[in-house]
């Protein structure tokens, strides 16, 4: 017997932006970054944290997929189940 466990996480990245500005116009750079107008210069993975987990059924699996992957909402179940990690025992993840 098996079950489907949905594990939700939040991923944190550190992003760097380099903005050339006139002397003393720091706010121009800050506004460009916060307004999503600046181009990302580099990034680094910081962490991934589990925020919740719960058991779901096959109908809920389809609902979650359709909500989050709306461009693939009509994908056949075979494509959906290819995305499910299958673990039989601890040797599958070590």
Same domain, 47 and 20: yes
Position 40 scores a pLDDT of 96
Same domain, 61 and 47: no
Position 48 scores a pLDDT of 97
Give the confidence band of 94 by pLDDT, cuts at 50, 70, 90.
Answer: low
Same domain, 44 and 18: yes
pLDDT per position as a tens digit, 24-79 = 999 999 999 999 999 999 999 999 999 999 999 988 988 888 888 777 778 888 88
Position 46 scores a pLDDT of 98
The tally of domains found in the chain comes to 2
Buried b (16+ CB within 10 A) or exposed e, 25-40: eeeeeeeebeeeebee
Domain that holds residue 40: 10-51
Could you tell me if residue 4 is inside a domain?
no
Residue 28 CA to residue 30 CA, distance in Å, equals 6
């Amino acid at each position: 017997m098996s079950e489907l466990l949905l594990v939700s996480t939040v991923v944190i990245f550190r992003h760097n932006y380099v903005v050339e500005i006139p002397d003393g116009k720091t706010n121009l750079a800050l506004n460009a970054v916060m307004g999503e107008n600046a181009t990302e210069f580099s990034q680094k993975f910081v962490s991934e944290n589990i925020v919740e987990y719960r058991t779901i059924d096959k109908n809920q699996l389809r609902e979650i997929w359709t909500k989050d992957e709306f461009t693939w909402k009509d994908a056949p179940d075979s494509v959906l189940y290819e995305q499910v990690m299958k673990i039989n025992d601890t040797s599958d993840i070590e």
